[in-house]
A and B are shown apart, each in its own frame.
Chain A
Amino acid sequence: MLFGANDLNSTAPTHRDHVNALFVLHSPRIRGFILSLLPNMSRADDVMQETFLTITAKAEDYERETNFVAWACTIARYKVLEECNRNQKTSLMLSPDVIEAVCVSHSPMTPDEEEGRLAALKDCMDALAPHTRRAVELRYSRAHSAAEIAKLLGWSTDSVYVVLSRARTALQKCITTHLKAVG
């Protein structure tokens, strides 16, 4: 391979590069934040992309050494509220004042914390009963709605809600226990 000289240092990263790199680093938390306020996965995806574009465009506004996730989540929150205004009649999103209220008490996890929780989640998933796990996978891997899962599995929609809710309660308990055990 005819590689030339290594010129890693020839292009110093710009401020925007720095911001983009931070976005990459923290994107799971930013995505999680958006999904919390906008449970529809495909719309959350759209808002995530809009957030990325806005952050790239407004990179200069970000001051180094300040809390990036908080800054990014502020932008994301605006994007969610815009989405909320576009779809005022839906009961699937919280009202704008409630969104504002819950955001006040939002404190993002650190990457380490998150890593631990994800690892625990993976172990806990294995402990779910097969039918529960299947419902969870259809919901989260394949982004099916409860009604679609009901159709696929031959259950009623209400029982899908119940199964998913129980699964979350069980997983939350399991993760807490797991993390305590790890210390």
Chain B
Amino acid sequence: MDIDRLARLLDLYLDEGLDSETKRELEEMLLANPKAREFFWQRAELNAHLRQHGQEAWGVKVLGQDGEGGDKLPTVSESRQAKPILKWIVAGLAASLMLAMVGSWILRDGGRVGTRDQVALNSSDMNASNESSLDGGQSSSVDDERPVDGLRDVWVAVLRKAVDVEWKNPLNAPSVGEPMKARRIQFENGLIEIQTNRGARIVLKGPADLEVISDMEIRCEKGRLSVDVPPPAQGFLVHTPLVKVVDRGTAFAMDVRGDTTAEVHVIDGLVELSSQVVDLPMRELREGEAVGVATDGIFNNIPAASESFPSTAEINSRTRAVINEMRQSWKQRRKAISNDPSCLVYFDFERTNDGLRGNQDTIVRNHARDAEGNGNGIIVGCDWTSGRWTGKRALDFKNVSDRVLFSVDGEHESLTCITSIRVGSIDRTFSSLLMSGDAVEGELQWKISRTGADNPMGRLRLARRSAEWDNSVSDFLSDPVIGPQRLGTWMQLAFVWDGINRTCSQYIDGELVSHDFIQTLPDSSFLRTGQLELGNWTPRGSDEVMSPVRNFNGRMDEFVMFNRAFSQSEVLAFHDLKAAYWKGQKANNWSDPSNWFAGVVPTRSDDVYIDASDEQKAVFDSGATEVLSRVIVGSKTGRFGELEISGGSLFATRNSDRHTRVGVAGGVGIVTQSGGEVDLNTLQIGLDPSSQGTYQLSGGNLLLSRGVSATMSSLEIGPQLGRGLLEISGGTLMTRRGVTLGRDGGTGVFFVRGSKASRIDIGSFRDFDGFWVQNTGSTLKVRVDDEGVSQIRVHETTADDGANVHFSNGALLDVGFEATPSAGEWDILKWDGDLVDEGLQFASHVDTDVWSFSFVDTDSSGSPDTLRITAQP
């Protein structure tokens, strides 16, 4: 027997490479010789082990393959790799019904994924491009890996819905409607729904940390989730640190809190539980039953409460609410666009109530104020369909003749076009977005191009004809960023032609995808409009045209053209309907629409971003805001934001799990409040590495009316490696829950300056007790004035032993005089609960010959309730 030949044939068999000839040869060998059959099993078992090993190593980046999912976070798979092999075997068993197999879903051109009415919210892997080619034909620079990567990839699940989600790493967040590979998903709050390729549906509520391992297996470290498993996904597996749950045709809910506790509630059918901690027999759990697991790994029966878990109904209703809010925001923005004097064309594709009624189906009205009825679009072909949300109208382009014709006269030194589309498929080399066929200098053509080398990825491409007499064009191209996974999801595309700065930029969903210099002669850096078409092209120039058929396949529900250049922030603001971005153009009054990008003052449930230079701080001095979601001041590395509040009422309590932040993600933020009412859910000052936040309260009232969970503070100063300062020299501060100074490596300063603040009440608002947690390196700073110093009170509101005070070893106390030094003693912090003091100490510069501090039992209860400082100058 030729063992080498047998090995070669067996390997071909295992790699699915046999043809009829080699198959016959292999089978003859196997039938003829028992040794061959023995060798067959040796090789086949190695093959099976390799597969098992390969699946367990799932998620580990394939060596040297860049751009894969872009997940820079350590995945659970990676961390698991470090564990001993025995653990692996256990995990292998755990993966038991290893149905856990990798659903391999080949996405081809034209494949559609995702829900129809969702808006894809971000595009994490887009890169700016500096590429420019002037040949008007094939692109010269092609990324070798990308196209193949897009051609076939292992997609295991799709993110169907995401409501009010705050991703832990926004740059790497999945988009709604996009298929996803095995990956880790982390978010602080909000609600998502994932469906695996086997049909298992997971609704998950943050804070959550979940790894999608395959279409039959997930691992959850943290979060509240409900899982609905249809027959094709029977055997679906949920790993958690304490318990493993195998579905047996069910719906069930879980609450997972890392390695401390887990609960499993069966809503329907039954599941099997195995302890991950101790060696227990498998436990079966039926409808209406529930089990809790603590660190000991033992199963304990608990009352079933599956109705308290996130459900499809809940996510649907929240989605509807969000869509409603988006629609409201969109209507307001629509008004602002129409009134913008720079707006040349605005098609919103909605029904109109004017004289066009008879031609509703064939005319799309131009809403630009100064168009005065000119520039209406003539619809040729096209079907009416639904747009980004239920009730929004859109045009469906499908046929080679479908198009919208309109005309806009003139040459434009600067031009911005923004459109909202849903690509059905990229059928051709060029899919037209906005095209001119005039064949004159400056003619513009905006399209999605897909050359053979890029297949199946598309690029955003703006072309400008350089001269009337020849076919030469300047091309501005993005990287091939429109992949098959974007098909069927809504995107907002934009180009900005800036003839003054001589740049051309393109955007997808507010993210820059190309930025190039315009290389024409200085006096000819204009774009010419004229006869235009949406979604198609009619060449009118030379007869020799490359790819004459250029129709777009997809939907469009908004198109707008301005004769000025938008900034990047403005494009982003245009895209993000749930956020308002400070522009600070005209004086600095909050209530002036022209101070906000997209010209709309923050409305109900908006996230408000204030980033500007110090000359352009936002001033809020009168009136009342609608109920906002939150306010972010100083939101990114290199950004500085300032908000001054001197009157009026500012509310940011719309979504209970949204925190207002001052200095986040590396940004620097300052809020000064000298008057007015400010009502926030929770306040985080100086969050994340290298962020700095300052909140100075000298008058007015600051109310922090929520804490996200039982352990969550209402006020955090310096969490997560950030640096934060709260300075109170007047007014009142009231919170519902506790205060944390410095968390996870950050440092915070709570500064009480003098005696003018009338109340500093922690935990006095409504239910829940206050608490005070001061971690190592964080400081309680007080300055005594002639009247003394305002006292901080930590209240017990319920009867469950809260209102405790905790000083870590190395927590600092910084004391001094605001005015003339004088002898005396002052009670600076008072609490109703217990004290844990691991080592509060004076800051190094405090003169300990003058100052001392003590914990005092003022009510003779037997335990200290007051922090008292004493000065003897």
Interface residues of A (CB under 8 A from B): 1-8, 11, 13, 17, 20-21, 23-25, 27-28, 31-33, 35-36, 39-42, 44-45, 48-49, 52-53, 91-92, 94-95, 97-98, 101-102, 104-107, 109, 111, 114-115, 117-119, 121-122, 125, 130, 133-134, 136-146, 148, 151-152, 154, 157, 160-161, 164-165, 168-169, 171-172, 175
Contacts and interface: CB of A to CB of B under 8 A. Distances in A.
Interface of B: 7-8, 11-20, 23, 26-27, 30-31, 34, 37-38, 40-55, 57-58, 60, 62-65, 85-86, 88-89, 92-93, 95-99, 101-104, 144-145, 148-149, 151-152, 154, 234-235, 246, 261, 272, 274, 280-284, 292, 294, 298-303
Contacts of B93: 24-25, 27-28
A142 B62 contact: yes
Contact of A4 (B101, B281, B301): B301
B148 A41 contact: no
A165 B8 contact: yes
Q: Is the interface of A mostly helix, strand, loop or mixed?
A: helix
Contacts of B303: 2, 4
A169 B65 CA distance: 25
Contact of A164 (B11, B145, B149, B302): B11
A35 B13 CA distance: 11
A115 B40 CA distance: 20
B52 A32 contact: yes
B96 A115 contact: no
Contacts of A138: 62
A4 B14 contact: no
B41 A152 contact: no
B565 to A, nearest CB: 41
A22 to B, nearest CB: 11
Given A105-B41, A164-B15, A8 B299 contact: yes
B14 A133 contact: no
A110 to B, nearest CB: 12
Nearest to A49: B99
Contact of B101 (A17, A41, A91, A142): A41
A145 B713 CA distance: 52
A101 B281 contact: no
Contact of B282 (A13, A28, A143): A13
The 4 closest A-B pairs by CB, nearest first: A32-B48, A140-B54, A45-B101, A36-B44
B581 to A, nearest CB: 41
Nearest to A29: B48
A113 B84 CA distance: 17
Nearest to B292: A3
A105 B104 contact: no
Given A4-B300, A48-B98, A152-B65, 6 more contacts: A1-B294, A42-B101, A42-B104, A141-B55, A141-B57, A142-B102
Nearest to A161: B17
A3 B37 contact: no
B57 A36 contact: no
Given A13-B282, A32-B48, A141-B60, A40 B16 contact: yes
Contacts of B144: 154
A168 B54 contact: no
Contacts of B43: 168, 172
B62 A101 contact: no
A168 B47 contact: yes
A52 B8 CA distance: 32
A161 B11 contact: yes
Contact of A143 (B52, B88, B89, B104): B104
Contact of A28 (B58, B98, B145, B152): B98
Nearest to A12: B281
B152 A144 contact: yes
Contacts of A44: 101
B62 A105 contact: no
Given A140-B53, A140-B54, A35 B16 contact: no
Contacts of B11: 161, 164-165, 168
A24 B97 contact: yes
A118 B148 contact: no
Nearest to A134: B63
A61 B86 CA distance: 32
Given A5-B300, A130-B64, A13 B281 contact: yes
A2 B396 CA distance: 56
B45 A32 contact: yes
A165 B85 contact: no
Given A1-B292, A115-B85, A138-B62, A23 B97 contact: yes
Contacts of B154: 142-143
9 contacts: A2-B303, A24-B96, A25-B96, A28-B98, A36-B45, A49-B97, A105-B37, A152-B148, A168-B43
Nearest to A133: B63
B16 A146 contact: yes
B302 to A, nearest CB: 6
B152 to A, nearest CB: 6
A138 B65 CA distance: 10
Contacts of A107: 41
Given A138-B62, A143-B154, A48 B302 contact: no
A161 B15 contact: yes
Contacts of A52: 97, 99, 235
A105 B48 contact: no
Contacts of A49: 97, 99, 234-235
B234 A53 contact: yes
